[in-house]
Chain A
């Protein structure tokens, strides 16, 4: 007990202009800058803060993917996680890896590592699924506090303030639990060079989904990827009469 599991995902950097492949099978990822998903950064920061408050003894960072996923785990270690687990998924398996498979892996690891808390980003900026946290909680039959903008540990329970449509909702859930981080949960620390150097000593364990007894066959097939339609340029008019005429022309009024 007293262990936090944090999931981190390697995604195309938020500042990069994404381009669709000419064959419309996906987006261009070769040679494109990748970094940790912004919501995962917030999740790591929260886990590390909880450990610094002495509420947990250990923070374990997990990532699923090819060899490059270890870079993302290294960043999490530089931010303060104690050790990492790299679940190796490559090639076609990685291309079809989605929330269902990842949540099965996280659920298996949460049980294996005897985690009291699993913290994830609310969604990844590449697929925007917003499913992994919820699915992980369901697979484990654990309570979930999603879209968390505030997390407080009260004994063996977690108080979560959630960002919802009408405003904020405060819930109290039993541990073990799954929490997903929203934008305002905290301010992630930047991984400076000294911290990155120190993190090199920390261990990253390597394993495959089969080692956890997880089947990662996907039930989904991506048929096509397209860019959003280009926005037409706006038209400027000189007077209100011109505006009315243009609106009549386009059949709007």
Chain B
């Protein structure tokens, strides 16, 4: 693997590991999945293939960020916009 690609792969691994700290199923579970996913491709030599896999990893980073945001947004909305949710179900409002 070319040196720059190697450092990219390592950076990707580090970034994903950092994101895994908030994973709902637990950091250890995430680390196991991450490790096995990377080890599965450890013998890939073709640079274009590696590039494709790295790009896939970048997509996973974006997905995880979105997952974490949606979780938080949904919980905040439940707590702080209860009135809105109740009105959607037509509960707790006088008819006017």
The answer to whether A binds B is yes
Q: Is A194 an interface residue (CB 8 A)?
A: yes
Q: Do B68 and A192 touch (CB < 8 A)?
A: no
| Closest-CB distance, B92 to chain A (whole angstroms) | 13
Q: Do B72 and A14 touch (CB < 8 A)?
A: yes
| Closest-CB distance, B86 to chain A (whole angstroms) | 13
Q: Do A187 and B81 touch (CB < 8 A)?
A: no
A-B contact count (CB 8 A): 36
Contacts of B77 in A (CB 8 A): 183
Q: Which residue of B lies closest to A190 (CB)?
A: B65
Contact check: which of A14, A183, A193 meets B18 at CB < 8 Å?
A193
Q: Do A183 and B65 touch (CB < 8 A)?
A: no
Contacts of A190 in B (CB 8 A): 19, 64-65, 68-69
Q: In whole angstroms, how far apart are the Cα atoms of A192 and B14 in the complex?
A: 10
Q: In whole angstroms, how far apart are the Cα atoms of A15 and B71 in the complex?
A: 9
Q: How many residues of B contact A (CB 8 A)?
A: 20
Q: Given A183-B81, A187-B69, do A192 and B76 touch, yes or no (CB 8 Å)?
A: no
| Closest-CB distance, A81 to chain B (whole angstroms) | 18
| Closest-CB distance, B78 to chain A (whole angstroms) | 11
Contact check: which of B18, B72, B79, B83 meets A192 at CB < 8 Å?
B18
Contact with A along B56-88 (1 / 0, CB 8 A): 000001001100110111011101110100000
Q: Do B15 and A193 touch (CB < 8 A)?
A: yes
Q: Is A38 an interface residue (CB 8 A)?
A: yes
Q: In whole angstroms, how far apart are the Cα atoms of A213 and B76 in the complex?
A: 36
**A interface majority secondary structure:** loop
| Closest-CB distance, B41 to chain A (whole angstroms) | 21
| Closest-CB distance, A11 to chain B (whole angstroms) | 12
Q: Do A192 and B80 touch (CB < 8 A)?
A: no
Q: Given A183-B80, A192-B61, A192-B65, do A38 and B72 touch, yes or no (CB 8 Å)?
A: yes
Contacts of B73 in A (CB 8 A): 183, 187
| Closest-CB distance, B32 to chain A (whole angstroms) | 20
Q: Which residue of B lies closest to A182 (CB)?
A: B80
Q: Is A188 an interface residue (CB 8 A)?
A: yes
Q: In whole angstroms, how far apart are the Cα atoms of A196 and B18 in the complex?
A: 11
A50-85 contacts to B, CB under 8 A, are none
Contacts of A194 in B (CB 8 A): 11, 15
Given contacts A14-B72, A187-B69, A190-B64, 13 further A-B contacts (CB under 8 A): A14-B75, A14-B76, A15-B71, A125-B79, A183-B73, A183-B76, A183-B80, A189-B65, A190-B65, A190-B69, A192-B19, A193-B19, A194-B11
- Chain B residues near A (Cβ < 8 Å): 11, 14-15, 18-19, 61, 64-65, 68-69, 71-73, 75-77, 79-81, 83
4 A-B pairs with least C-beta separation: A190-B65, A193-B18, A193-B15, A38-B76
